């Protein structure tokens, strides 16, 4: 089921957000201050050198980390001052993560992995299972639902992880180098799949080092030393690829 509430609010908004580790002379500014908005249906790529703050930005966006200053809003709601229960509910219902590797629990089949967030959220097993199968169909893996991760290719595993990130009401995917461990052709197919999800009204933020993958994005934000130093908007959003 594709559950997407179209609102006027940006899906994700950073207002003067910074993250500083430590204090005094040894303080490290990992990010910011940065401000930007991401709207429903957008595919936004984050690029920048190692240490520029990309993972920090994603962690703040997904409420895995708390800003030192500024405001992070998800669907218009300020993430500050929420108790741990509220935050974990928000992570189960609003935002999904995909990382470079080790995304799936090896002891669970593909469909069991995908249905897990729904089970944790108290859905009856039969319902969770059915929704997980639908979600696997969206990523073209309905037939491999009963395979264990070890018996899936790297690209297939990432597609299962994408299905899990979107299962249920979640409509925002935060992906930190999801293609980093894949060959370029497989990596590109994963990005195309993410683009397809955006066409369904879902929203994706992807950290990537690969300019060809970023070429599929509607917008690219470039980070350096924790700041957004450049932003490009695709001239032919949806076409994918970059001209060289
Ligand atoms: N817990 C921490 N304590 C101190 N400094 C940190 C901590 N986490 C991150 N940093 C620093 O913050 C900066 C940004 O880190 P971040 O992981 O966001 O970079 P990145 O752009 O994701 O890099 P990469 O491409 O290597 O993954 C780096 O200088 C890093 O050393
Ligand atoms: Mg990183």
pLDDT per position as a tens digit, 54-89: 999 999 999 999 999 999 999 998 999 899 888 888
The Å distance, Cα 129 to ligand 1 centre, comes to 37
Q: Closest-lying ligand to the alpha carbon of 46? A: 1
| CA separation for the pair 127, 134 (Å, rounded) | 11
The Å distance, Cα 225 to ligand 1 centre, comes to 10
Neighbours of ion ligand 2 (CB under 5 A): 55
Judged against a pLDDT cut of 50, whether residue 135 lies above it is answered with: yes
pLDDT band at 5; cut points 50, 70, 90:
low
Mean pLDDT of 91-102: 88
Question: Phi and psi (nearest 5°) for 44?
Answer: -115, 130
Q: Closest-lying ligand to the alpha carbon of 61? A: 1
Q: Closest-lying ligand to the alpha carbon of 23? A: 1
pLDDT band at 238; cut points 50, 70, 90:
very low
Check pocket membership of 30 for ligand 1, CB cut-off 6 A.
yes
Higher local confidence (pLDDT), 92 or 176:
176
Bridge partner residues of 231 (DSSP): 221
pLDDT band at 1; cut points 50, 70, 90:
low
Check pocket membership of 56 for ligand 1, CB cut-off 6 A.
yes
The Å distance, Cα 163 to ligand 2 centre, comes to 22
For the chain, the first-to-last Cα distance in angstroms comes to 38
The Å distance, Cα 204 to ligand 1 centre, comes to 21
pLDDT, one tens digit per residue, over 142-188 is 999 999 999 999 999 999 999 999 999 888 999 999 998 889 889 99
pLDDT band at 244; cut points 50, 70, 90:
very low
E strand intervals along the chain? 12-21, 28-38, 43-47, 69-74, 77-78, 95-98, 172-176, 203-207, 219-224, 227-233
The Å distance, Cα 55 to ligand 2 centre, comes to 4
Predicted confidence at residue 237, as pLDDT, reads 46
Predicted confidence at residue 195, as pLDDT, reads 94
State whether residue 143 is helix, strand or coil.
helix
pLDDT band at 9; cut points 50, 70, 90:
confident
């Amino acid at each position: 089921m594709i559950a997407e509430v179209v609102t006027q609010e940006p899906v994700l908004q950073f207002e003067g957000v910074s993250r500083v580790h430590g204090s005094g002379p040894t303080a490290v500014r990992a990010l910011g201050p940065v401000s930007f908005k991401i709207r429903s249906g957008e595919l936004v790529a984050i690029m920048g050198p190692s240490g520029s703050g990309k993972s920090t930005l994603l962690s703040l966006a997904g409420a895995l980390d708390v800003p030192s200053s500024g405001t992070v809003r998800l669907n218009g709601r300020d993430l500050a001052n929420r108790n741990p229960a509220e935050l974990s509910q928000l992570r189960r219902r609003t935002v999904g993560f995909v990382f470079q590797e080790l995304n799936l629990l090896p002891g669970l089949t593909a469909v069991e992995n995908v249905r897990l967030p729904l089970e944790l959220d108290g859905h009856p097993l039969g319902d969770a299972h059915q929704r997980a199968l639908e979600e696997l169909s969206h990523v073209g893996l309905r037939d491999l639902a009963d395979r264990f991760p070890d018996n899936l290719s790297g690209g297939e595993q990432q597609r299962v992880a994408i299905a899990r990130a979107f299962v249920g009401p979640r409509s925002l995917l935060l992906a930190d180098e999801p293609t980093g461990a894949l060959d370029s052709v497989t990596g590109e197919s994963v990005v195309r799949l993410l683009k397809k999800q955006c066409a369904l009204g879902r929203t994706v933020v992807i950290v990537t080092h690969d300019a060809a993958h970023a070429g599929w994005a509607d917008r690219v934000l470039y980070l350096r030393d924790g700041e957004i130093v450049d932003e490009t908007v695709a001239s032919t959003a949806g076409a994918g690829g970059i001209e060289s």
